[in-house]
Amino acid sequence: MKVAMIVSDNPQCGITTHANYVTSEFGENCEVDIIKTKLSVIRSRGILEQSKYYKTIALELNTRYDIVHIQHEYGLWGRKIFYYHFNLYNFLKNLTLPVVISLHSIVPDLISPDYVLHEKSGGLIRRNPLFKYSKYWAYIKMLNYISNRVNRFIIHSDDSYTIYKSSNGNGNIKILPLGIPGVRKISLADKLEAKARKGFLGKKLLVLFGFVSSYKGHETAIHALSNLPPEYILIIAGGSHPLNPDSNEYMKRLLRLAHRYNIRDRVIITGFLSEEEIDEWQIAADLVLAPYLEVGLSASAAISRAFAMSNAVVASDISAFLGIAEQTKAIKIFPSTEALLLVDSILEIEKNKVLLNRMREASYEYAEKNSMYTIANEHIKLYNTILSEN
């Protein structure tokens, strides 16, 4: 079996990293090539050139592979919603092979014209009901084609499945958690040693991982930090997103906020980290924070990596995290944007060592159950099922 795995050519992309991890566990019976689409084409060229580019890729894949698996995120297919739909539609129209799409986030725009992502708030709003009966009939046609052409959508949580099902109604869905790479049982001694290497022995490290983007709730974390004792340090373990021109300005805004609260020396932005550096901060963390806003995430690689290192997690009540919290006691949920309730959650865990140790043990158990090897084998089973149907 020959599989083409579609990702972007951005080496810092977490989705690309995930694809590399999962395919490394495929074994001898599944030959896979990572096909990297050129973001320079998506970002700098017009819609007709983009269309030609994706058609060329599809026609080439038809002659070389048995199945295509797209690691999907909206921005990887176009700068605007219409560009995105047109490019994916055109790619699938020219592809004769079975297709799997992993949805790493689910904004219902993918599968239903009734909702749209509000640019300023980051939330979902209902579109004007006249939309579907107006000049956008072609848009609706593309949506319907995409959802029916794909053999399986992989979704990472039960809550995301519910969103997809209510918007789409098709049965071509497979729920698979994100695979967790490099599972290790981290001891307290390991954490103390990692803290010492970082120069933070005696401090409480709250770590928020990933590209710095407004939907990840950094401002909520800084608000919370201002209400915590001085030994607490917030590590923003990541840097600006290379495809988001507003990311650098957002980081400056975060630092201004920290300065306003007089905690600038307790907020550290690391910049982009290698995989080894991410692991080092995961080991050093007392708690991993994920105070995200609801933007349709299906899963979080940052939380998966936290579980890989036996970490306890405090996360907001977005659908993706609620789904994980139903499966493991490793997460403490608080209401999104409620900084003082985040403070309460942090202090509750830190003051109760029995609870903290129980959460860390649950984290390790969840990671073992959903190791990258296990999830990779589920991918191969799915590919074989689809090929047997075609």
Of 84-88, 153-157, 241-245, 358-362, least confident by mean pLDDT is 241-245
Residue 155 has pLDDT above 70, yes or no: yes
For the chain, give the percent of residues with pLDDT over 70. 81
Residue 134 has pLDDT above 50, yes or no: no
**Whole-number Å distance between alpha carbons of 50 and 88:** 10
User: Residue range 122-141: average pLDDT?
Assistant: 47
Of 3-17, 59-73, 165-179, 292-306, least confident by mean pLDDT is 165-179
pLDDT, residue 8, reads: 81
Domains 2-179+372-389 and 188-369 share a fold: yes
Tell me which of 211 and 44 has the higher pLDDT: 211
Residue 43 has pLDDT above 60, yes or no: yes
Residue 390 has pLDDT above 90, yes or no: no
pLDDT, residue 63, reads: 94
Which one, of 184, 110, 165, lies nearest residue 140 by Cα? 110
**Whole-number Å distance between alpha carbons of 73 and 194:** 34
What are the residue ranges spanned by the domains of the chain? 2-179+372-389, 188-369
Of 42-51, 116-125, 283-292, least confident by mean pLDDT is 116-125
pLDDT band at residue 111, thresholds of 50, 70 and 90? very low
Residue 166 has pLDDT above 70, yes or no: no
Interaxial angle between packed helices 339-351 and 218-225, expressed in degrees from 0 to 180 and rounded to the nearest 10: 60
Amino acid at site 230: P
pLDDT band at residue 247, thresholds of 50, 70 and 90? confident
Q: Which CATH superfamily is domain 188-369 in?
A: Glycogen Phosphorylase B; (3.40.50.2000)
Amino acid at site 23: T
Selecting from 3.30.830.10, 3.30.565.60, 3.40.640.10, 3.40.50.2000, what CATH number does the domain 2-179+372-389 have?
Answer: 3.40.50.2000
Q: Which residues pair with 269 in a beta bridge?
A: 236
pLDDT band at residue 15, thresholds of 50, 70 and 90? confident
Count of CB atoms situated within 10 Å of the CB of 262: 9
Q: What is the DSSP code (8-state) at residue 235? A: E
Beta-carbon-side half-sphere exposure of residue 199 (alpha carbons within 13 Å): 2
Amino acid at site 386: I
**Whole-number Å distance between alpha carbons of 58 and 55:** 5
Q: Cα torsion at 233, 238, 243, 246 (round to 10°)?
A: 20
Which one, of 294, 300, 122, lies nearest residue 209 by Cα? 300
Amino acid at site 8: S
Q: Cα dihedral sign for 300, 302, 307, 312?
A: negative
Q: How far is CA 230 from CA 31, 161, 205, 343, in A?
A: 53, 42, 11, 13
Strands 173-175 vs 115-117: parallel, antiparallel or unpaired:
unpaired
Of 15-19, 134-138, 239-243, 250-254, least confident by mean pLDDT is 134-138
pLDDT band at residue 122, thresholds of 50, 70 and 90? very low
For the chain, give the percent of residues with pLDDT over 90. 56
Classified as helix, coil or strand, 2 is strand
